A and B are shown apart, each in its own frame.
Chain A
């Protein structure tokens, strides 16, 4: 088998399931639209026009995809090491708060480049610290990371809720005062067509992160070890890889990537930390990683897809309740999860039958 053919087969194996899922989601969406007494064709058209059909809608898609790329990478990277990181929600929130704290602490005269760099670093550290807990508990005590990350989400979110409401909020709100330094420019400052959309310079920082993760995962020794541990921890251990250390590191880096997503809202959009800003983006990161097949490029595509759904919900809300897209998100995830093993089985069988 030439390497090209195997590349093509791998691609087919990974791409078929998301396409099947998309088909199922379209059918379910049709049914929901019909249940609401609307014409499916019109609603889908509105959805596409409201997202990719104009600069504002597209800007909103880019904004939402930026956060989802971060949480998707957080889940994908950990999964490559064989760990399931359900904690992106808490990691994202902690990253956002850390960025806001730095933005609040720095004097307003701090040059943007320095302030933004420090706040971004803080977001990475904040998310990474939350990720370190399950990583360490896993390698030190063998505590199952799924359980720890689920529970830790609730703990972190409660802690942040307490901290903001008890210490730092603007009266009558659940957000901090506006940051003094480090606010990132919106895309609209360069392209006026994007006016009003939340897309901002975080986009470029996250694009760099995607490139770095791709490089590190596939072109460095650490990335190789990480993938080896994910495929076969015992074999990796035997080959001299310190599995526990790789696990801890993968969770820290994963957490840091999720935390990075916090700058999109805090530095790029609102200019403050707000309780609950993560709004499920951490959990959707699981979907993004799954549909993106744990590959950085796939993660970006999947993030764009889920961002389109989410923004599209707002576009169609006048005719069909926007909650339709939440149903479709669930359907897509379920369908991908169910069809991946099935597709793999069928493909393997057809290969054997040849």
Chain B
């Protein structure tokens, strides 16, 4: 029973990472730097709460959150692809923009600087301990499915092959007739969609939006993508690993064995070690971040 609870808690923590990591992996495999995951998630969370508040339906909330994700993905894509803006800067700008915009519209819609009222979500009151509510949440199942689905998409379909070609050698891809620009647009839109669902899950699980509620999860997901060497399956495993470390930390909190801050560092430390190539070098797609 204890093991089961541990796994359940790990999965709950991992779901937003899995969504966002899927978003990060698809964009970066197509050669577009994905520092926007945090912004996509936060936008998705806010969209979900707005949708759920005005329609009183969690499903409509999910739809609205996903739409916000697509919209932000479109902004990212147009700025990075059409206008060839520096993708790192675009990421930083969009993240700032979303934090500000969600705060502004939180004030406008609910006259609050900290949180929205309670809205319809998935799972009943105190969903955390309730296995039935946990299993009834469609986003849990979507989150479990998203990584295998992405692995299939990237590894086994024509579109996936094109995404990889565009991310490794766009000129070569272009010369054999791959529509490079269109593939990149599609990848970034999918990235916005996937990552926003991570935020949707958070908001509908907690039945409300709170200021900056994603709290850096987008960057942990990015760390998982890099630590997972840009491979969807490995990135998914990294998400589960990071979530397990967090669960363990929550469990051990009472015991005060190690300060929580040190556990929180684990994903970032592992990622630095991975890019430095100390154990099995992590190499990005060759054309990552290059506009041409």
Please state if B264 and A327 are interface contacts (CB–CB under 8 Å): no
Q: Is B168 an interface residue (CB 8 A)?
A: no
A331 in contact (CB, < 8 A)? yes
Cβ contact within 8 Å between B222 and A150: yes
Please state if B107 and A321 are interface contacts (CB–CB under 8 Å): yes
Q: A32 CA to B108 CA in the complex, in Å? A: 10
User: What chain A residues lie within 8 Å of B75 (beta carbons)?
Assistant: 334
Q: Is the CB of A333 within 8 A of B79?
A: no
What are 21 of the A-B contact pairs (CB < 8 Å)? A137-B275, A141-B278, A143-B272, A146-B88, A151-B271, A155-B269, A155-B272, A159-B265, A162-B261, A166-B259, A326-B103, A326-B104, A329-B97, A334-B75, A334-B93, A334-B94, A337-B79, A337-B89, A337-B90, A339-B83, A341-B83
A273: CB under 8 A from chain B?
no
- Quick check: is A58 within 8 A (CB to CB) of the other chain? no
- Sorted from nearest, which 4 A-B pairs have the closest CB atoms? A330-B97, A326-B100, A333-B93, A338-B83
Report which B residues bind A (CB closer than 8 A). Answer: 33, 35, 75, 78-79, 83-86, 88-90, 92-101, 103-104, 107-108, 113, 216, 219, 222-223, 226, 259, 261-262, 264-265, 268-269, 271-272, 275-278, 284, 291
Once the chains bind, are B222 and A323 in contact (CB under 8 Å)? no
Query: For A155, what are the chain B residues with a Cβ–Cβ distance below 8 Å?
Result: 265, 268-269, 272
Among B219, B264, B272, B278, max chain A CB count under 10 A is at: B272
Contact residues of A between 308 and 354, Cβ < 8 Å to B: 321, 323-331, 333-334, 337-342
Using A151-B223, A330-B94 as known contacts, say yes or no to A144 and B262 having CB atoms under 8 A apart: no
In the docked arrangement, what's the CA distance between A283 and B33, Å? 17
Determine whether the beta carbon of A333 is less than 8 Å from that of B92: yes
B90 touches A323 (CB 8 A): no
Within 8 A of B (CB), among A164-186: 166
Do residues B275 and A147 form an inter-chain contact, with CB atoms below 8 A? yes
Given contacts A326-B96, A331-B97, contact A338 B271 (CB under 8 A): no
A158: Cβ under 8 A from any B Cβ: yes
Tell me the bound Cα distance from A137 to B33 in angstroms.
20
**A86 CB-CB contact with B under 8 Å:** yes
Distance, CA A141 to CA B85, complexed state (A): 28
Q: Are A141 and B276 in contact (CB under 8 A)?
A: yes
For residue A61, CB closer than 8 A to chain B, the reply is: no
Asked if A287 is an interface residue, CB under 8 A from chain B, the answer is yes
CB of B219 within 8 A of CB of A150, answer yes
B106's nearest neighbour on chain A, judged by CB, is A323
User: By the criterion CB–CB under 8 Å, are A159 and B261 in contact?
Assistant: yes
Binary flags per residue of A109-141, CB closer than 8 Å to B gives 1, else 0: 000000000000000000000000000010001
Q: Which of A36, A144, A159, A338 contacts B79 (CB 8 A)?
A: A338
- Cross-interface CB contact of B92 among A147, A159, A286, cutoff 8 Å: A286
A269 to B246 alpha-carbon distance, docked (Å):
37
* Distance from A288 Cβ to chain B, minimum over Cβ atoms (Å): 12
Q: Are B277 and A327 in contact (CB under 8 A)?
A: no
Given A326-B104, A338-B83, A341-B291, decide whether A148 and B272 contact each other with a Cβ distance below 8 A: yes
Q: How many angstroms from the CA of A84 to the CA of B88 in the assembled complex?
A: 9
Counting CB contacts under 8 A, is A161 at the interface? Answer: yes
Q: In the complex the two chains form, what is the Cα distance from A162 to B264 in whole Å?
A: 11
Q: Does A239 contact B (CB under 8 A)?
A: no
Q: Which residues of chain B are near A93, meaning CB under 8 Å?
A: none
Is A154's beta carbon under 8 Å from chain B? yes
For B88, list chain A residues within 8 Å (CB): 84, 86, 146
A337→B93 contact, CB < 8 A: yes
When C-beta atoms are compared, the residue in chain A nearest to B264 turns out to be A158
- Which one of B33, B93, B108, B261 contacts A161 once the chains associate, using CB atoms below 8 Å? B261
How distant is the Cα of A339 from the Cα of B276 in the complex, in angstroms?
34
Known contacts A32-B104, A158-B261, A326-B103: does B86 contact A337 (CB below 8 Å)? yes
B residues in contact with A150, CB < 8 Å: 35, 219, 222
Cα distance A258–B97 in the bound complex, in angstroms:
23
List of B residues within 8 angstroms of A339 by Cβ: 83
Are B92 and A283 in contact, CB atoms less than 8 angstroms apart? yes
Asked whether, in the complex, the Cβ of B96 is within 8 Å of the Cβ of A329, the reply is yes
Q: Does A276 contact B (CB under 8 A)?
A: no
Q: How far is the CB of A23 from chain B (nearest CB, A)?
A: 16
Smallest distance from the beta carbon of B241 to chain A beta carbons, Å? Answer: 16
Do the beta carbons of B97 and A337 come within 8 Å of each other? no
Contact yes or no, A321 B103, CB < 8 A: yes
Contact yes or no, B268 A152, CB < 8 A = yes
Query: B268 is contacted by which of A35, A143, A154, A329 (Cβ under 8 Å)?
Result: A154
Contact between chains at B92 and A287 (CB < 8 Å): yes
Q: Are B276 and A137 in contact (CB under 8 A)?
A: yes
**Given the complex of chains A and B, what is the CA–CA distance between A144 and B262 in angstroms?**
23
- Asked if residues B265 and A158 are in contact (CB atoms below 8 Å), the reply is yes
The distance in angstroms between the C-alpha atoms of A154 and B263, with both chains bound, is 12
- Give the distance to chain A from B42, nearest Cβ to Cβ, in Å: 12
Determine whether the beta carbon of A144 is less than 8 Å from that of B83. no
Cβ-based interface call for A53 (8 A): no
Q: Chain A nearest CB: distance from B81 CB in Å? A: 11
In the complex, which residue of chain B has the Cβ closest to the Cβ of A79?
B86
Q: CB < 8 Å: which of B79, B92, B103 contacts A323?
A: B103
Q: How far is B216's CA from A57's CA once the two chains are assembled, in angstroms?
A: 33
Give the chain B neighbours of A340 by CB distance below 8 A: 85
Contact digits for A252-293, partner B, Cβ 8 Å, 1 yes 0 no: 000000000000000000000000000010011011001000
